[in-house]
Structure 1
């Protein structure tokens, strides 16, 4: 826990801040044990919606499964500053989807169709890809 956030923190400028939202108290505690030495970091116990009170953001790494839905996408996009980036990870590459999904993947389709996001898909392994979406307006 907290290792991904620590990696993001390592690339953050001195003036930046990192907020990690954890829905489970034990996970939040483990994440805080990794991040607490850096004053730019904060771990908060709650739901990802709780972080929206601090918008706008330059970067949102949407790790919660409940944030990876077509319904959540407009909320996440509006929480970004213009030029900010949304990362959606742990997705199956389009080429790896079976025939059932060839008619479309609702999250992917919503990200590519969103009027204020410029989205690209990056395959990171044979079985995984991420969507990177930049807010344009």
Structure 2
């Protein structure tokens, strides 16, 4: 069996920026490879809410079809400028300096990657940003063996809401022993 493909150049450059900027965590390679695989199945507009140093957008770009468009919003204008430089030669990626809601004008999305907890709480807004059949990937959950999911002694109401909302067919995936994500497809 062969090993997974090397880290794409844009991902490596985004990870370098993360180290330079002191980001402790970025999108895991396992999550990134999943994003690339899902992006390969999508047409239209793909989005990341919470650019950070652009690692998620880089993974999306590595798998996206040539005709797909990727947009991402970063609140910190200086960081957004640095990420824009990473993607300067990539025609189908746009990094917007601003709040995540600045991406609403680019909707509907066929794939939406969200790794900001406060944004995940906005399920009604996010549901309206997805086209029918659109996929939301929600990152950075702590696995729970209980139902409803319990984290730090409390019900994880955000995860519970996404997994039970009738507008979505949703599943939680274990990424490694300490991390999971939710994939929700808009019905």
Asked whether the two chains share a fold, i.e. TM above 0.5, the reply is yes
Shift of residue 68, structure 1, vs aligned partner: 2.1
| Contact 1:6–1:34 (Cα < 8 Å) also in 2 | no
Alignment of 1:22-61 (within 5 A): 22-61=74-113
The 1:98/1:20 distance shift into structure 2, 3 A limit, reads closer
Give the CA RMSD over aligned residues: 1.6
2:141 counterpart (73, 91, 94):
91
TM-score scaled by length of structure 2: 0.66
Structure with larger RCO (C-alpha < 8 A, sep 6+): 1
User: 1 CA distance for matches of 2:79 and 2:89?
Assistant: 17
Could you tell me how far apart the structure 1 residues matched to 2:144 and 2:178 are? 10
Runs (4 or more) in structure 1 with deviation over 6 Å come to none
Q: 47-56 or 91-100, which moves further after superposition?
A: 91-100
1:48 and 1:64 in contact (8 A); partners too: no
TM-score normalised by the chain length of structure 1: 0.89
Gaps of 5+ in 2: 1-52
Candidates 96, 117, 132, aligned match of 2:183 = 132
- Matched-pair contact (CA < 8 Å) for 2:142–2:151: no
Residue 153 of structure 2 corresponds to residue 100 of structure 1: yes
